[in-house]
């Protein structure tokens, strides 16, 4: 077997046997079951009151809630970054502190095999877990409501899971970057959590302050208001969580036809109907490319930093 895949198998086995992974899987599973229960109770009431609610009923398993617990899509957006950070915050510095990194690199293997294998192994575990949870919700929902998903609904759910894997991969690569940069695993974990908290809590507050400060006070025209809204929206899209939220909401809510402000000329004559799958994919293409670019940048920085580091036997 190729040495690269030997390292990948070893990393996957380490992840699956760790208590950290088991605790995260149990947490995700419990939240998955809770969100499915609240969605089922909401769906029964909505469908009994209005037959029009039955359209895209299967997608509502992931988006609706009765208020007691957030829906599945919210849990993925909140717990996904924590899962990615937990999988990568000690990828490099733990090997260095235990002294196994120098012994590993003393073998006849290329240095980049190590960091590439750690990323690929974590990505395989993340993809398998998210797809397993997603198909678990689909299977339990199918048993509960007795209505199979249409091909378009199934396609939307698959693309939602792909975007979720891409989102978690961004935080995984950021955690690996901090693990390569800092020698202590606690420091890299705190740095990654600090970045997550900044984009989740503080960045929206900063954007609101900027939006209030830059709002046109004099000579307010529709064009100035529209340009201001576009400027604020561009600032919010610098956050990975905002890109993920827009992409997943568009995929799981076919009635979403635009992600930005529209003028009356654009709204006039528009037919209020759900978008087909192809049009929704075109709508979220910029968000998907943005997440992919951010993930690639983090991985490239960690790769360059790891390849340039000096690794001695005493480490």
DSSP 36: H
Q: How far apart (Å, rounded) are the C-alpha atoms in residues 166 and 254? A: 21
Distances in Å between the Cα of 189 and the Cα atoms of 59, 81, 195, 266, 313 are 35, 12, 10, 46, 25
Query: Structure tokens of 293?
Result: 């670019």
Can you give the pLDDT at residue 269?
A: 54
Can you give the pLDDT at residue 315?
A: 43
Can you give the pLDDT at residue 171?
A: 95
Q: How far apart (Å, rounded) are the C-alpha atoms in residues 273 and 255? A: 6
Yes or no: say if 93 and 183 are a contact pair by the CB < 8 Å rule. Answer: yes
Q: How far apart (Å, rounded) are the C-alpha atoms in residues 236 and 208? A: 9
Distances in Å between the Cα of 295 and the Cα atoms of 147, 244, 276, 300 are 37, 13, 28, 9
Can you give the pLDDT at residue 53?
A: 47
Q: How far apart (Å, rounded) are the C-alpha atoms in residues 279 and 236? A: 23
Can you give the pLDDT at residue 52?
A: 44
Q: How far apart (Å, rounded) are the C-alpha atoms in residues 39 and 13? A: 35
Can you give the pLDDT at residue 170?
A: 95
**What angle do helix axes 72-88 and 19-49 make, rounded to 10 degrees?**
170
Can you give the pLDDT at residue 33?
A: 83
Q: How far apart (Å, rounded) are the C-alpha atoms in residues 274 and 256? A: 7
Q: Give every residue of the chain whose pLDDT is below 50, as ranges.
A: 49-53, 315
Backbone angles phi, psi at 310, to 5 degrees: -90, 125
Can you give the pLDDT at residue 261?
A: 61
């Amino acid at each position: 077997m190729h040495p690269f895949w030997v390292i990948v198998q070893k990393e996957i086995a380490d992840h699956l046997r760790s208590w950290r992974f088991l605790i995260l899987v149990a947490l995700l599973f419990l939240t998955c079951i809770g969100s499915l229960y609240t969605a089922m109770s909401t769906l029964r009431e909505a469908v009994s009151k209005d037959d029009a609610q039955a359209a895209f009923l299967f997608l509502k398993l992931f988006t609706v809630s009765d208020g007691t617990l957030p829906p599945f899509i919210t849990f993925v957006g909140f717990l996904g970054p924590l899962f990615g950070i937990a999988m990568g915050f000690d990828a490099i510095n733990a090997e260095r502190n235990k002294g196994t990194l120098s012994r590993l690199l003393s073998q006849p293997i290329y240095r980049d095999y190590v960091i590439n294998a750690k990323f690929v192994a974590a990505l395989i575990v993340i993809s398998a877990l998210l797809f397993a949870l997603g198909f678990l919700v689909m299977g339990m929902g199918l048993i509960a409501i007795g209505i199979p998903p249409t091909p378009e609904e199934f396609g939307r759910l698959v693309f939602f899971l792909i975007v979720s894997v891409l989102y978690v991969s961004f935080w995984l690569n950021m955690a690996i970057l901090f693990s390569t940069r800092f020698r202590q695993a606690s420091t890299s974990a705190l740095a990654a959590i600090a970045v997550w908290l900044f984009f989740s809590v503080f960045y929206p507050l900063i954007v609101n302050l900027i939006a209030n400060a830059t709002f046109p006070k004099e000579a307010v025209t529709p064009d100035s208001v529209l340009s201001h809204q576009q400027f604020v929206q561009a600032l919010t899209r610098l956050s990975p969580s905002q890109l993920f939220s827009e992409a997943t909401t568009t995929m799981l809510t076919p009635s979403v036809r635009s992600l930005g402000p529209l003028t009356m000329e654009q709204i006039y004559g528009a037919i209020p109907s759900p978008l087909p799958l192809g049009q929704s994919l075109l709508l979220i293409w910029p968000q998907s490319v943005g997440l992919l670019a951010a993930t690639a940048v983090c991985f490239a920085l960690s790769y360059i930093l790891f390849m340039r580091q000096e690794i001695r036997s005493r480490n």
